[in-house]
Amino acid sequence: MSNVNIAFGKRIKSIRVSKHISQEKTAELCGLHPTYIGQIERGEKSPTLESIYKLAIGLGVSPQDFFENIDNSGDDFASKIYNEILSLPEEQKKKLYKIIVEIIHL
């Protein structure tokens, strides 16, 4: 498994989880097999451009969203925080944002 595939798979999973969508539902929305979704998320498979496009349409994002911070393997502290925040429900993201803004302006 390449680091790029692993980072890409983590990004797909992070987006999926943040939208509270199961792998099975993601597969249905994207027209892909649930096993394939799992393999992509684990970095075991490198998706084709067509599959990337289907994932973007199904998850309601731009294909470029999958590649944000992809050059980073996710091992640094900032990436870990970023990925944790992405997996939060929208309401919690908004609350966290307000807290961070308050801390910055202390």
The CATH number of the domain where 53 resides is what?
A: 1.10.260.40
Give the DSSP letter string of 64-85: GGGGTTTTS-S-SHHHHHHHHH
Element of type H or E holding 56: helix 49-59
Question: What digits encode the pLDDT tens for the residues 63-98?
Answer: 998 887 666 544 567 767 877 887 788 899 899 989
Structural domain total, the chain: 1
Whole-angstrom distance, CA of residue 34 vs CA of residue 17: 15
Question: What digits encode the pLDDT tens for the residues 16-60?
Answer: 998 999 999 999 999 999 999 999 999 999 999 999 999 999 999
Cα of 61 vs its chain's centroid, Å: 10
Q: Whole domain around residue 48: which residue ranges?
A: 3-104
pTM of the full structure: 0.66
